[in-house]
């Protein structure tokens, strides 16, 4: 679970989902109001979660389409959603991928 760097405030599952699904890159701590940012490493991990959700759709190509595809899609989606907050790491500083400074 993401933890606020200032006072070690722990965020709840629901708060994490709510904050990370918005377009705003800043994740304001609900306890102290400090702005926090998701780390680049954590963003990569979350991006890797998307193909997991879409895995049942891939299975659809090999097996007969049917209700089981929809069920597995829902199961994978819930699984990914419950794992999601554990992959979110936050930092006080906003990170940028710097292509020029090498
Ligand atoms: Zn805080």
Q: Look up the domain containing 69 and give its range.
A: 13-91
Question: Phi then psi for 79, rounded to 5 degrees?
Answer: -65, -45
Distance in Å, CA 8 to ligand 1 centroid: 6
Res. 100: pLDDT tops 70: no
For residue 5, is it within any domain? no
For residue 72, is it within any domain? yes
pTM for this prediction: 0.70
Domain count of the chain? 1
- Which tens digit of pLDDT belongs to each residue from 36-45? 888 888 888 8
Q: For position 2, what pLDDT does the model report?
A: 83
Distance in Å, CA 65 to ligand 1 centroid: 47
Distance CA 18, CA 12 (A): 10
Distance in Å, CA 86 to ligand 1 centroid: 18
Distance in Å, CA 29 to ligand 1 centroid: 5
For residue 99, is it within any domain? no
Distance in Å, CA 34 to ligand 1 centroid: 6
């Amino acid at each position: 679970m993401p933890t606020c760097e200032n006072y070690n405030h722990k965020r709840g599952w629901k708060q994490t989902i709510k904050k990370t699904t918005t377009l705003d890159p800043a994740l304001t701590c609900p306890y102290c109001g400090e702005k926090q940012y998701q780390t680049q490493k954590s963003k990569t991990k979350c991006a890797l979660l998307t193909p997991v959700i879409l895995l049942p759709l891939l299975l659809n190509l090999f097996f007969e389409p049917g209700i089981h595809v929809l069920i597995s899609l829902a199961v994978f989606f819930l699984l990914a959603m419950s794992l999601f907050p554990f992959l979110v790491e936050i930092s006080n500083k906003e990170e940028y991928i710097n292509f020029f400074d090498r």
